[in-house]
Structure 1
């Protein structure tokens, strides 16, 4: 499974890359929403793992931009946040399959959630 992992903090991005690669995923990283958009327009990903608190675009704006560019091809998204509560996930209708994971989390939790959203995307009825 090919993941796009997006976080503007280099150390966290490196840790996620290492953890997910060791869990058997093919990982591509991006340091910002605009970088993630450019990558997602150039290749396909199975799941996007995305920090919420980033600049210049936060995770929700990044998903809005990805949805505008990719439409129904938008892969499922796992939002990561240090906020103790689930923030308002953008309403993109049926186009967005998403999960929300609060930091800190165990690597096994992240792997499990990635599997859940990937299965949900595979089981989504096609138009």
Structure 2
């Protein structure tokens, strides 16, 4: 949870399954995160500038773009200022395509406990703090 007086981490959570997206939003909001959701890659690309996330939580298997393609398009839009990404998937970890040396990525296999997701988000944020522009 967020310490009293601390600024909550801002998350952009992307999943094309409405029930999972709703569950992620509820779970992460209850943990003190500020959550913006998007139901697919194009919506995530549109939401990115307005929500200025500290960490992106991205499902891998989505339509019309998968999570990797969505991140590629985000990189093209914002460049090196893209925050760390926690990829979620129900499949064994695929070898992700080259997303660039400036992308901090983490991977969490479904199903997972809420505490595992929170830990992955906090670890991604801590790992990404070294390279993100001001």
TM-score w.r.t. length of structure 2? 0.89
How many pairs does the alignment contain?
125
Provide structure 2 residue ranges, at least 5 long, that are not aligned to the other structure: 1-8
- Equivalent position of 1:114 in the other structure: 121
- Relative to its length, the structure with more helix (as a share) is 1
For 1:77 and 1:122, the matched residues in 2 are separated by: 12
| Partner Cα distance (2:21, 2:125) in 1 | 21
Runs of 4+ in structure 1 displaced over 3 angstroms? none
Task: Compute the TM-score of the two structures, normalised by the length of structure 1.
Answer: 0.94
Superposed CA RMSD in Å reads 1.2
In structure 1, runs of 5+ residues without a counterpart are none
Corresponding residue for 2:34?
A: 26
The question of whether the paired residues in 1 share the 8 Å contact of 2:36 and 2:51 is answered with no
Distance in 1 (alpha carbons) for counterparts of 2:132 and 2:87: 23
